Structure 1
Amino acid sequence: MESILALVQDPAAWVALATLVVMEVVLGIDNLIFISILTNKLPEHQRERARKIGIGLALIMRLGLLATVAWIVRLTEPVFTVLGNELSWKDLILIAGGLFLVWKATKEIHHHVDPTDHEDTLVGAAVATFGGVIVQILVLDLVFSIDSIITAVGMTPHVQIMIVAVVSAVLVMLLAANPLARFIERNPTIVMLALSFLLLIGTTLIAEGFGVHVPKGYIYAAMAFSALVEALNMVARNARLRAKARNG
């Protein structure tokens, strides 16, 4: 109890908490995009429940990992070497998650370009199952959760601050999940942009797994610029539609 009171009275702890909450929310955006795209494949009456379960699993997983922080920290220790690169369990998880993201995003892009050919898509528009979607969300939750917790461990030694930051970030994800999914569903071009983001994120995870550090600022700046361009395109399209409606 005294340690908690000491943290509450420590301005540095509040700064660390605010910074970590922002970092966790930013990292959670990637997960949320993936959840939105997957759940939009389900029948409408199942989508909200799948999002809540997916985000709830992310919270449970992150809190569970926080309870084993000492073990998580050891995940960064090298376990073997491949082609001169020392790989840890964290690296292997990032590489596997990145490969899954690249594979999944590529399949979904192929399906959107050629909707008549979706036999090999794991969750195609016609064969989406609630269990299949939850399994895929669970796989990516694991990757993003480990990355999130390791980021938290690197920013503060206080588990209490990590817990508050993680819970706050997941609550933001829960509030934003339905509006984001509906926005993606109403704007098909956003789906392609979001899938491109997932390709970029997957490639980044693979690179980081092999020890090539890609500054997150560059990644999110590129994503923000692409989103801005698409927003301007949407404004232009809406203006053309309104002008056509007035003239028609």
Structure 2
Amino acid sequence: MRGRIVIELLGNPAVWASFLTLTVLEIVLGVDNVIFISIAAERLPVAERRRARFIGLSGALVLRIGLLFSITWIIGMSEPVLTVAGFGASWRDIILLAGGLFLIWKAATEIFSEVEGETHATAGAAKATLFAVVAQIMVLDLVFSLDSVITAVGIADHIEVMVAAVVVAILVMMVAAEPIAEFIAAHPSTKMLALAFLLMVGMALVSDGMHHHVERGFIYAAMVFAGGVEGLNLWRLKRRNTRLAQ
């Protein structure tokens, strides 16, 4: 029975369309997660960074699949469980608020460290730092996974399609995580830009938690525009250095 259902899904063009759409959206929604993981892992010794990125993205995969199989619970998370001064907060609101505030705090402290020139963690504290970094990654994975799963539930009608799209998106992010981390490490100005993106995402999460939804299209458009400007700056710098070297 299950095999026949799978065959029917594979032969349905609408299912493939929803799968491709959802996969692209999952990758786009995961960009800020990859940026956070890359920045958080940078404070580890080089030998530990790949492990932290792998654990972080593996945790995101497990969380997202687990949440997908708890769709009923996710839908019920929109019901208020706490009322403060007339504001009814659901578990979803609480998670978004906590995650957004944590992301703002993390990005702000990283920006302060960059401006003040604070040195990164020493190799002697590798184990404790690895645990702390992975813990931070898992906390944000929960927030980003919630947003991702809600998107999946709204687009696809079949749990098999949702799981397949999430798995493909996470695999793509695993491949892209290291090049993104290396690029950010090689270009300090892009790290500051990435931290500014995280601040913006954190503020959007807080706003969502306060029932003031911010369209993600505006955020991603700002990211693309700022990234394009930064790309032109890097291109200009590279050409100038090439001319000076001649």
Residue from 94, 97, 109 that aligns with 2:96: 94
Distance 2:18 2:136 in 1: 32
Give the aligned partner of residue 63 of structure 1: 65
- For residues 32-89 of structure 1, what are the alpha-carbon distances to aligned partners after superposition, in whole Å with 9 as ceiling and x for unaligned? 0000001111111111111111111111111111222211121122223334433211
Number of residues of Structure 1 aligned to a counterpart in Structure 2: 240
The answer to whether 1:201 aligns with 2:214 is no
Which amino acid in the other structure matches residue 76 of structure 1?
Answer: S
Distance 2:98 2:40 in 1: 19
Distance 2:91 2:157 in 1: 21
Give the aligned partner of residue 225 of structure 1: 225
Distance 1:80 1:130 in 2: 35
- For residues 150-198 of structure 1, what are the alpha-carbon distances to aligned partners after superposition, in whole Å with 9 as ceiling and x for unaligned? 1111112311111001101100111101111000110010110000000
1:213 is paired with a residue whose SS is coil
Which amino acid in the other structure matches residue 152 of structure 2?
Answer: A
Deviates more, 1:36-45 or 1:62-71: 62-71
Identical aligned pairs, as a percentage?
Answer: 49
RMSD after superposition: 1.4
**Pairwise CA distance, 1:125:** 4.1
The answer to whether 1:10 aligns with 2:39 is no
- For residues 108-167 of structure 1, what are the alpha-carbon distances to aligned partners after superposition, in whole Å with 9 as ceiling and x for unaligned? 000100124x7xxxxx54466111110100110111111111111111231111100110
Give the aligned partner of residue 74 of structure 2: 72
Which amino acid in the other structure matches residue 160 of structure 2?
Answer: Q
**Pairwise CA distance, 1:29:** 0.5
Give the aligned partner of residue 169 of structure 1: 169
Answer yes or no: is the 8 Å Cα contact 1:85–1:211 preserved in 2.
no
Give TM-score scaled by structure 1 length. 0.93
Give TM-score scaled by structure 2 length. 0.93
Distance 2:215 2:209 in 1: 14
Answer yes or no: is the 8 Å Cα contact 1:30–1:198 preserved in 2.
yes
Give the aligned partner of residue 182 of structure 1: 182
* CA separation of 1:136 and 1:11: change in aligned 2, threshold 3 A: same
Unpaired segments of 5 or more residues in structure 1? 119-123
